[in-house]
Structure 1
Amino acid sequence: MAYNHPRLAFTSRDPTTKRLMPPLIKAVLVDDERLARHALRTLLAGHPDLAVIGEAESVGEAAGLIPRLQPEVIFLDIQMPGESGFDLLSRVSVTFHTVFVTAYDAFALRAFEVNALDYLLKPVEPERLAETLARARAAPRARLPVAPQFGAGDVIQIASGAHRHFIKISDIRAIQAEGDYSLVATRDKRRILTRKTMAEWEQSLRHLRFCRIHRSVIINASLIERITRKASEEYAVKLAGESESFPVSRRAWTDLKKLLRG
């Protein structure tokens, strides 16, 4: 949801008072909890040089909102239904500061690995929020890291705990979501758990014969052995070497058909 904020019309001079005003910081709030967004918006209202120009309650909604509104800062929850806050950072290419706002401190290290401006714990303390906004005013926009795009013949390194696995892209059969991690299944029967989100994999593999057939599954379409129609407009695919079939969402079925026809 987007807002028409009255202060956006005059960021350099107030036509009524003729006073110079500081440039506005445009912000978007992303949190699946309405009360949490309301509490943060109330705190932010005490900072007249910041305007909340939009809110989103899911990663999907935020991914559509952010490119249109072009905020300087997003206040982003991490654990949300479906996709996490980290998934959002892989889905948008707009430049902005990211401030994670979460009830958990377990994600702090990863937050700074993706160049977060700050990491605030709920309930947010006004003093900590003021410090965060001071940093936002002083710093130029940070560019989001972009996931690399792989070639079919590339060999990539996948970190899993203390181990490093070297895998040829074409040898990946499927990738399944495991919370903020993913489980990579290979042709040689390996199952590798790694800290890489589905959105990051999708961005890296989208130009190859890989397809995200469900929000929690990406498959190597070159290895499809059988497609089964389970019910009206419901399908499942079986991959070579896999004993079980994977369901295909209705939205993904259209993308999969285009990929197979191409």
Structure 2
Amino acid sequence: MEVVIVDDSRLARTELRHLLGVFPDITVVGEARHAAEARELLATVRPDLLLLDIHMPGETGFELLASLEAAPQVIFTTAYDEYALQAFEVNALDYLLKPVQTERLAAALAKARARAAALPDPAATAAPEAPTEAATTPLTENDQVFVRDGEQCWFVRLSEVRLFEISAGYTQIYFDTHRPLIPRTLQHLEQRLDARTFFRANRQQIINLKWVESIEPWFSNTLKIRLRGGPEVEVSRQQSARFRELLSL
């Protein structure tokens, strides 16, 4: 498991490296002193896990996550206990208070291993591809994104998102029982999402094909799709033809 440490304290980073050294399956692939440095690092490496401080010069750890289009699993490491609830609201794996104890770190790493083991390995089925810039790499269903709507935050795996829908100049994201709004256009999302999983049904909606529950013919040779957990989506005539081609043998 590859790990990146983000902390403004050199001593804290050194201590975490030392603690991680006793776990043979853990490799520290980089360190950053603040959010800006972490963003640059995460543009070049894709670790499995982020050990992230909250209070840093400039932006907080939460603000760093909010700026990332995709993020690895996160364990917060901080000297402050008042942010624990907020940390778990963004679906962090764990929240470790400094000084970090070996036993607590071991338990947090066990959670990371368990969650990683539960995910399919995209490399096992994907054909080799030529290297591309990180900015053009599609976000797959296994990627995790940070979503913020006002004071509420979520850490969401894209496999859990069933629908993106235009709403009053924003895009609404459907996952679980939540419907947050983000300041992104569907055109931007269509360019960033893996087309093998996410399909542009019409001008207003992008659906996750793995959430399709039923399909029925609709007016003028179009289709109507019901997603598990709702809602129903009417596919435009042009996209209905593309949908049939996409899913036919």
Structure-2-length-normalised TM-score: 0.50
Give the corresponding residue for 1:145. 146
Query: 1: CA distance between counterparts of 2:184 and 2:144?
Result: 22
Give the corresponding residue for 2:24. 48
Post-superposition Cα deviations, 1:89-121, rounded to whole Å, max 9, x if no partner, equal: 111123411000000100000000101000000
Alpha-carbon offset, residue 129 of structure 1: 0.6
Which of 54, 69, 74 is the equivalent residue of 1:78? 54
| Preserved contact between residue 150 and residue 205 of structure 1 (Cα < 8 Å) | no
Could you say if the C-alpha distance between residues 32 and 206 of structure 1 is closer, same or farther in structure 2, counting changes exceeding 3 Å? farther
Alpha-carbon offset, residue 143 of structure 1: 1.7
| Preserved contact between residue 27 and residue 75 of structure 1 (Cα < 8 Å) | yes
Could you say if the C-alpha distance between residues 105 and 27 of structure 1 is closer, same or farther in structure 2, counting changes exceeding 3 Å? same
Query: 2: CA distance between counterparts of 1:41 and 1:50?
Result: 10
* Residues 1-262 of structure 1: pairs in structure 2 closer than 5 A: 25-140=1-116, 143-147=144-148, 153=168, 204-205=182-183
Give the corresponding residue for 2:239. none
- Structure 1 portions without partners, runs of 5+: 1-24, 156-200, 208-262
Alpha-carbon offset, residue 39 of structure 1: 0.5
Q: Which runs of 4+ in 1 moved over 6 A?
A: 148-152
Q: Which amino acid aligns with 1:67?
A: A
Q: Which amino acid aligns with 2:96?
A: L
Query: 2: CA distance between counterparts of 1:58 and 1:151?
Result: 34
| Preserved contact between residue 77 and residue 85 of structure 1 (Cα < 8 Å) | yes
Alpha-carbon offset, residue 206 of structure 1: 7.5
Larger Rg: 1
Query: 1: CA distance between counterparts of 2:100 and 2:5?
Result: 14
Percent same amino acid at aligned positions? Answer: 48
Could you say if the C-alpha distance between residues 48 and 150 of structure 1 is closer, same or farther in structure 2, counting changes exceeding 3 Å? same
Query: 1: CA distance between counterparts of 2:107 and 2:37?
Result: 28
Post-superposition Cα deviations, 1:18-68, rounded to whole Å, max 9, x if no partner, equal: xxxxxxx00000000111000011000110100000000010110111131
The alignment's C-alpha RMSD in Å is: 2.8
Query: 2: CA distance between counterparts of 1:147 and 1:103?
Result: 24
| Preserved contact between residue 67 and residue 94 of structure 1 (Cα < 8 Å) | no
Query: 2: CA distance between counterparts of 1:53 and 1:26?
Result: 6
Query: 2: CA distance between counterparts of 1:94 and 1:153?
Result: 25
Query: 1: CA distance between counterparts of 2:45 and 2:66?
Result: 18
Alpha-carbon offset, residue 154 of structure 1: 5.5
Aligned length: 138
Could you say if the C-alpha distance between residues 43 and 76 of structure 1 is closer, same or farther in structure 2, counting changes exceeding 3 Å? same
> Matched residue of 1:112: which SS?
helix
Query: 2: CA distance between counterparts of 1:128 and 1:152?
Result: 43
